[in-house]
Amino acid sequence: MNLIDWPVEKANRILAPRPTVIITTVNKQDEINAAPFSFVMPVSIDPPIIALASAPTHHTTKNIEETKEFVINLTPAKIMDEMWITSKKLPYGENELEKAGLTSLSSVKVSAPRIKESMAHLECDLLRMQEVGDHSLILGEVVHSTIEENIMKDELLDVSQVKPLMHLGGKSFVVGDHLRKVE
């Protein structure tokens, strides 16, 4: 074993791979935005609270500030290419879901839509947003959750069904034992 120093600004590459999600939001004009994230995790069980880190100028951040709501949609490997299309910066107000060919479903409790192909959705109300370093840390309470039946087994995510896309960094992902790269 030989230990070497690793640049601290690349610490995010060590804490990997992380679940990839697509966050859907709307602005006050009810225009839909969608974008992928992997800086997202649960921070409280009851009440159920999720933390999400987003760039302060990102349309997602802007929309959450405006409407105080968002939806976390899982990214099964089968929608990897569509997820990547949602990462492209479109003019503000343009709908990345349509561009990507993903299907919007109305949510149960919030105005932002769910993504049908995602298999699992967490509808969230904004609790708090604060600057942390170069990101905005967004804390949201899960107010409703839906899943495709059969994706949970003994209350655990059935990874063989969902094949969750895990983010390594940049354009590189992992699905189970396999490396996947978007273009």
What is the binding site for a copy of itself (CB under 8 A)?
1-19, 21, 39-51, 53, 72, 74, 105, 116, 120, 122, 132-135, 137, 139, 142-149, 152, 155-157, 159, 164, 166, 168-170, 172, 174, 176-177, 179
Nearer to a copy of itself, 88 or 179 (CB): 179
Q: What region, left, alpha or beta, does residue 80 occupy, with left being phi > 0 and alpha being psi -120 to 50 degrees?
A: alpha
What residues have CB less than 8 Å from 153, skipping those under 6 apart? none
Query: Measured between alpha carbons, how far is 170 from 101 in angstroms, rounded to an integer?
Result: 22
Nearer to a copy of itself, 88 or 103 (CB): 103
For residue 34, give Cα distances in angstroms to 12, 65, 89, 152, 178: 23, 15, 10, 25, 26
Nearer to a copy of itself, 85 or 122 (CB): 122
Residue with tokens 């990874």: 159
CB 34 within 8 A of CB 72: no
State in angstroms the smallest separation of the CB of 35 from a copy of itself.
17
State in angstroms the smallest separation of the CB of 167 from a copy of itself.
10
State in angstroms the smallest separation of the CB of 147 from a copy of itself.
5
Nearer to a copy of itself, 90 or 152 (CB): 152
State in angstroms the smallest separation of the CB of 93 from a copy of itself.
27
State in angstroms the smallest separation of the CB of 94 from a copy of itself.
27
The CA angle 158-120-146, to the nearest 5 degrees, is: 115
